[in-house]
Chain A
Amino acid sequence: MIDFGFGLARSSAVELDKVDLSLYKELERLEPGIRKCIACGSCSATCTAGPWSGMSVRKLILNLQRGKDVSGMLSACMLCGKCSIVCPRGINTRQLILSLCRIYDNK
């Protein structure tokens, strides 16, 4: 075979039916409220840690649902609770973050 120096790049698409959701499932069990997210972005806009670190609960939840790593974002939360207050769906975001920090222990 002649090597042309390029090949097929691996698709960056997340295959929704194959992605590993074990972390999300575990979190869903601990904080079922996570299912209610409508990704409105209130949490991210109000986040105290956001300007320092790019922390965003909305992204966190979405990334978990797509099987992506979220540890970098988690480690910026100051637990100030503003996201819990502004969430229009009443998700207990602080409990969600604390639970997630603990699950990482088992991984």
Chain B
Amino acid sequence: MDNKKILIIGGGPAGLEAARQLLRLGWEPVIVEKTEQIGGHLSRWYKLFPDMMPASELLEQLTAGLEGAKVYLKTRVAYMNRLKDGYSIMLSNGTGIQCRAVLIASGFSLFDASKKEEYGYGVYDRVITNADLEAWFAGASDSRIPEHPRRIAFVHCVGSRDLKAGNSQCSKVCCMTAIKQAIEMKERFPDSGIWCFYMDLRLFGKKYEDFYINAQKDYGVHFVRGRVSEVSEAIDGSLVVKAEDTLAGTPVKLNADLLVLMAGMLCNADTATLARMVRSEVDSDGFLRSRDNIYRINESRRPGVFYAGACTGTKTIPETMAEARAAALDIHNYLCGND
């Protein structure tokens, strides 16, 4: 067995950071990424809360220390067999790998917003998602975004905390993303009114609350506590957003020129297949099941299989970074027999 190799499934922030750390520890990580570029969702994001750091900057830092790591793009794991003290893996490009440890860092998928039919994503012309907006910030053109929007509405919890959408978990990052994007929109369109419709604002991280205060104080973003239930289209193509202002106890309507849906995080559909290959388990929330959710989040119940990032649950980027480093250390200790 070539016992220096470590397979990392997923070339997003978690996989990249873990690979970087493992390289430093003297291992030979092999990254398998299914898309044509590394970086995962990060590569499609514009700026990151709460410091408004450009996503590209973080990506640069992550890839800078990767010399020496093998990266396979547009490649998937075809099958994986358990050996006596490791795994034999066949990749979709025909490469065979034998290694003693596997790190699953397969990340998340964004909820398909067209499944929340009542919001009219894909039906109405002025409805976009958080990811669409990031792409537009990053320079892509989007005909759905009007030149001078008078009012912009953000809908939180689209496909999160919603049994009907098949995901009852909170996606953690959407509240902050909505506030971030609201601020960015206000900077681009100072005359527009911005409205955030939320169920609960969950701003738990460092500087998050300050960010929220800024949005209120400096940018005048309006916050309405009520989940949007219906969206209809007026004759001029603008949208009529219906919700209940639950604090005022009154139904409200907003005529908006742009509706941004905060699509939530779901576990990647491929992850279940991966889990079957290593005979690991999927938890009741649809994500991978860790040894426990307090002390050994990075460990699976199978020897030599480790997790990092959003494959075990919704994570922010700082959390993912911390987990990736922890996983790298766990793997190092496992391979050195330091348990």
Residues of A that sit less than 8 Å from B by CB: 38-47, 50-51, 56, 58-59, 85-90
A45-B242, A45-B251 are contacts. A85–B226 as well, Cβ < 8 Å? no
Whether B270 is near chain A, meaning CB under 8 Å from some CB there, is: no
Stretch of B35-43, B156-164, B180-188, B291-299 that contacts chain A:
B156-164
Residues of B that sit less than 8 Å from A by CB: 118, 157, 161-165, 199-200, 225-230, 242-246, 249, 251-252
Distance (whole angstroms) from the CB of B157 to the closest CB of chain A: 8
A41 CB contacts on chain B under 8 angstroms: 225-227, 229, 243-246
Contact of B199 among A40, A43, A85 (CB under 8 A): A40
Asked whether B251 lies within 8 Å of A40 as measured between CB atoms, the reply is: no
Distance (whole angstroms) from the CB of A8 to the closest CB of chain B: 28
Contact of A58 among B157, B161, B200, B244 (CB under 8 A): B244
Contact of A45 among B157, B200, B227 (CB under 8 A): B227
Distance (whole angstroms) from the CB of A60 to the closest CB of chain B: 12
Q: What CA separation (Å) do A87 and B229 show in the bound complex?
A: 9
Contact of B251 among A50, A87, A88 (CB under 8 A): A50
B246 CB contacts on chain A under 8 angstroms: 39-41, 44, 58
A38 CB contacts on chain B under 8 angstroms: 161, 199-200
Q: What CA separation (Å) do A44 and B226 show in the bound complex?
A: 10
A42 CB contacts on chain B under 8 angstroms: 227-229, 244
Which 10 pairs of residues, A with B, have the shortest CB-CB distance?
Answer: A41-B244, A46-B229, A45-B229, A44-B244, A41-B246, A40-B227, A41-B226, A88-B162, A45-B244, A90-B163
Q: What CA separation (Å) do A19 and B225 show in the bound complex?
A: 27
Q: What CA separation (Å) do A42 and B116 show in the bound complex?
A: 13
Q: What CA separation (Å) do A2 and B225 show in the bound complex?
A: 49
Distance (whole angstroms) from the CB of A68 to the closest CB of chain B: 13
Asked whether A51 lies within 8 Å of B163 as measured between CB atoms, the reply is: no
B163 CB contacts on chain A under 8 angstroms: 87-90
Sample of 11 A–B contacts (CB below 8 Å): A38-B199, A41-B245, A41-B246, A42-B227, A42-B244, A45-B227, A45-B251, A86-B229, A87-B163, A88-B163, A88-B227
Closest to A84 in B: B164
Known contacts A40-B227, A42-B228, A90-B163; 9 further A-B pairs (Cβ under 8 A)? A45-B251, A45-B252, A51-B251, A56-B249, A85-B164, A87-B164, A88-B161, A88-B162, A88-B165
Distance (whole angstroms) from the CB of A53 to the closest CB of chain B: 11
A47 CB contacts on chain B under 8 angstroms: 251
Asked whether B249 lies within 8 Å of A45 as measured between CB atoms, the reply is: no
Q: What CA separation (Å) do A45 and B229 show in the bound complex?
A: 6
